[in-house]
Chain A
Amino acid sequence: MSFPSTTEIYHVAKLARLTLTDAEVERLAPELASIIGVIDLLKEVDTKNVILTAQNTGLTNVLREDTLRSPSPSPDALLSCSPLPLVQHQIQTPSAHG
């Protein structure tokens, strides 16, 4: 069985909030397998004594002063970017319950 399997691809797509067509899955399967082949190279590196970090700036707890600022851009300017209808300064989304 090839890795990742078709079932696994559909599962990952669901987690990623993507709907893939059968043709896309057929194309993606060998592509993902070859990419995973490349990243599997990392398994040979000895990292037992490496302490984990997710950044390289050395910065910690960067906070700004707790002072009030006027909102910029305005909430209405941001709302106007939405492709969905606006109702009382809120975006009307499709129902979460179907």
Chain B
Amino acid sequence: MDNVCHGRVHTTMLSALTITEAHEKLRKKEISTEELVRACIDRIEAVDGILNAVVHRNFERAVEEAKMVDATGEFSSPLTGIPYLTKDVFCEEGVPTTACSNILRGKTYIPPFDSTTTKRLKTCGAISLGKVNTDEFTMGCSTETSCHGVTRNPWDTTRVAGGSSGGSAVAVSSNECLFALGTDTGGSIRQPAGFCGCTGLRPTYGRTSRYGVMSMASSLDTIGPLCKTVEDIAIVMEAISGKDPLDATTGNVPVPMYRQTLKSAMKGLRIGLPKEYFIDGMSDDVERAVREAANVFASLGAIVSEISLPMTKYGVATYYVLVPCEVSSNMARYDGIRYGHTVENPESLLDYYERVRSDGFGPEVKRRIMIGTFALSAGYYDAYYRQAQKVRILIARDFEEAFQKVDAIISPVSPTPAFTIGAHEGDPVAMYLEDIFMCPQPMAGIPALSLPCGFSKSGLPIGLQIMGPQWEDGRVLKIGHAFEQATEWHERKVAI
């Protein structure tokens, strides 16, 4: 992988290393942390003008931190000295954090505290390079609702990166960093990973702490990594998982050493292929790639069988009741009092709230607040919110029953590869249906991995989704790792 140039390792290529590879080189003193950090910075400077993934650059601080790591010369954690980027909803002390929304840009919000996840990474010595683009407050599937403009797909810059963690996926697949953090409520890690050809994990709900991460839908939001390999996902998960006293929804479940179980055998493992995830209108390329992936698992000794998840068709409808309801509540805090946007000469407090919010929020956030407020209002609460909560239980039951028969479930991530920028403008329902295969898992709180399993005829990445039972994140990673070892899709590099 190294591109040796005049006797020195070419620094631009260093940003293409995996965490495992970079750690090995740092430990052996073949490269310095500063060289690694500067390689990522150079790469961002070279390509981000086109891609628009990085919205806040924390470069000076990153270089200072790199020098400090080099001065100690200790690389006790595999994440020590590893540069990463964070979705713009993770609070980092002293670093602008705006959820890519104008409501936090008026007076740019600079958090006086760290999210638990970035704090845990800091403890390991990982180095934050800055913030990456997201749909406004993570509401979207294409990174088009960001106040910073769209992030472009590095495989075809006329297409979306996916979303909402589009900036994170692009940053990883175009080698602007070694890994990135994202959030997944209904596909926001998995779909952009699938569209951009990298690997992303939506962990079990409660496996990672949400403290200090701006909420969209608190009962469904999860924090997870986007990486170049499954092994790298395992490394980051070991660092960021576990009970957090500051997030009461984190489970008191021991964190396994995920890397140690990656290499266990696939023989006899039962894998289900749900018939409801192969629908009319899906791309032939996607169907072919996922069925071929099933054959790969069979060749590794797994027992692949067709299963049924009959509640799948209610996933999007349930999601688009529960999420807007929680959005309408969570967005109430953005009222221009404690942080963010402000307006001059209000007539009253109520006038101030309304003008701050109407100025500050973009169209998709307003749309979701409106739907949520409507679904929770007198006369509609039972028909929508209460009914959706009950359907949520039935969807979770679907998975519980399926996991009696199989150990894991595989499916496409999305029905099609990345769509063209602007394709769903003015049609929110078409946009919401992009998440059709990714809305059911959050209802059950189960883990789901997205990793590359092929390319379309036009050269766009296709994502495979691997789901496991609650708290079995390690099993999902093991299956993903076995697939990765048997295929070469994850090794394809963007031309940019």
Q: A59 to B393, Cβ gap below 8 A?
A: no
User: Which of B126-134, B293-301, B383-391, B472-480 contacts the other chain?
Assistant: B383-391
Name A55-78 residues within 8 Å CB distance of B. 55-57, 59, 62, 64, 72-74, 77-78
Select one of B249, B320, B361 contacting A39, CB under 8 A: B320
Q: A57 to B251, Cβ gap below 8 A?
A: yes
A83 to B360, CA, bound (A): 13
Interface of B is mostly: helix
Q: B428 to A34, Cβ gap below 8 A?
A: yes
Q: A83 to B314, Cβ gap below 8 A?
A: no
With a CB–CB cut-off of 8 A, which chain A residues contact B348?
Answer: 94-98
A91 to B190, CA, bound (A): 41
Name A6-20 residues within 8 Å CB distance of B. 8-9, 12-13, 15-20
Q: Is B149 an interface residue (CB 8 A)?
A: no
A72 to B220, CA, bound (A): 27
Known: A17-B353, A35-B320. A50 touches B390 (CB 8 A): yes
Q: Is B337 an interface residue (CB 8 A)?
A: yes
With a CB–CB cut-off of 8 A, which chain A residues contact B373?
Answer: 12, 15-16
Q: Mark B410-443, 1 if CB is under 8 A from A, else 0.
A: 0000000000000000101100100000000001
User: Which of B7-15, B18-26, B102-110 contacts the other chain?
Assistant: B102-110
A64 to B248, CA, bound (A): 9
Select one of B93, B249, B390, B394 contacting A57, CB under 8 A: B249
A51 to B394, CA, bound (A): 10
A73 to B246, CA, bound (A): 13
Chain B nearest Cβ from A87, distance in angstroms: 14
Q: Is A1 an interface residue (CB 8 A)?
A: no
A82 to B204, CA, bound (A): 35
Chain A nearest Cβ from B331, distance in angstroms: 9
Q: Is B354 an interface residue (CB 8 A)?
A: yes
Chain A nearest Cβ from B361, distance in angstroms: 8
Chain B nearest Cβ from A2, distance in angstroms: 14
Q: Which residue of A lies closest to B374 (CB)?
A: A12
Select one of A13, A52, A59, A72 contacting B248, CB under 8 A: A59
Q: Is A53 an interface residue (CB 8 A)?
A: yes
Q: Which residue of A lies closest to B373 (CB)?
A: A16
Select one of B106, B332, B432, B444 contacting A38, CB under 8 A: B432
With a CB–CB cut-off of 8 A, which chain A residues contact B186?
Answer: none
Chain A nearest Cβ from B119, distance in angstroms: 11
Q: A47 to B391, Cβ gap below 8 A?
A: yes
With a CB–CB cut-off of 8 A, which chain A residues contact B393?
Answer: 50-53
Name A29-51 residues within 8 Å CB distance of B. 31-32, 34-43, 45, 47, 50-51
Q: A52 to B389, Cβ gap below 8 A?
A: yes
Q: Is B318 an interface residue (CB 8 A)?
A: yes
Chain A nearest Cβ from B381, distance in angstroms: 12
Q: B112 to A84, Cβ gap below 8 A?
A: no
Q: Which residue of B lies closest to A61 (CB)?
A: B248
A27 to B425, CA, bound (A): 12
Q: Which residue of A lies closest to B359 (CB)?
A: A19
Q: B369 to A52, Cβ gap below 8 A?
A: no
Known: A32-B370, A81-B112. A39 touches B375 (CB 8 A): yes
Q: B386 to A42, Cβ gap below 8 A?
A: no
Select one of A4, A24, A59, A97 contacting B366, CB under 8 A: A24
Known: A4-B374, A31-B367. A78 touches B248 (CB 8 A): no
Q: Which residue of A lies closest to B430 (CB)?
A: A34
Q: Is B146 an interface residue (CB 8 A)?
A: no
Select one of A18, A57, A93 contacting B370, CB under 8 A: A18
A84 to B338, CA, bound (A): 8
Chain A nearest Cβ from B443, distance in angstroms: 7
A24 to B374, CA, bound (A): 16
Known: A35-B429, A83-B107. A41 touches B370 (CB 8 A): no
With a CB–CB cut-off of 8 A, which chain A residues contact B384?
Answer: 39, 42
A18 to B373, CA, bound (A): 11
Known: A20-B358, A42-B317, A59-B249. A54 touches B338 (CB 8 A): no
Name B316-359 residues within 8 Å CB distance of A. 316-318, 320-321, 328, 332, 335-342, 346-355, 357-358
Q: Which 9 A-B pairs have the closest CB atoms?
A: A77-B112, A83-B342, A47-B390, A98-B348, A73-B112, A56-B445, A62-B248, A50-B390, A16-B373
Q: Could you show 12 A-B contacts with beta carbons less than 8 Å apart?
A: A18-B357, A18-B369, A20-B358, A24-B366, A32-B370, A35-B428, A40-B317, A45-B314, A72-B113, A83-B340, A93-B349, A93-B352
Q: Besides A18-B369, A19-B354, A56-B445, 17 other CB < 8 A contacts?
A: A12-B374, A15-B373, A16-B369, A18-B370, A20-B358, A37-B429, A39-B320, A39-B384, A42-B388, A54-B389, A62-B249, A74-B112, A78-B112, A78-B338, A95-B349, A96-B348, A98-B351
B residues near A, CB below 8 A?
Answer: 93, 106-107, 109-113, 205-206, 219, 245, 248-249, 251, 313-314, 316-318, 320-321, 328, 332, 335-342, 346-355, 357-358, 361, 363, 366-367, 369-371, 373-375, 377, 383-384, 386-394, 396, 426, 428-429, 432, 443-445, 470
A residues near B, CB below 8 A?
Answer: 4, 8-9, 12-13, 15-20, 24, 27-28, 31-32, 34-43, 45, 47, 50-57, 59, 62, 64, 72-74, 77-78, 80-84, 91, 93-98
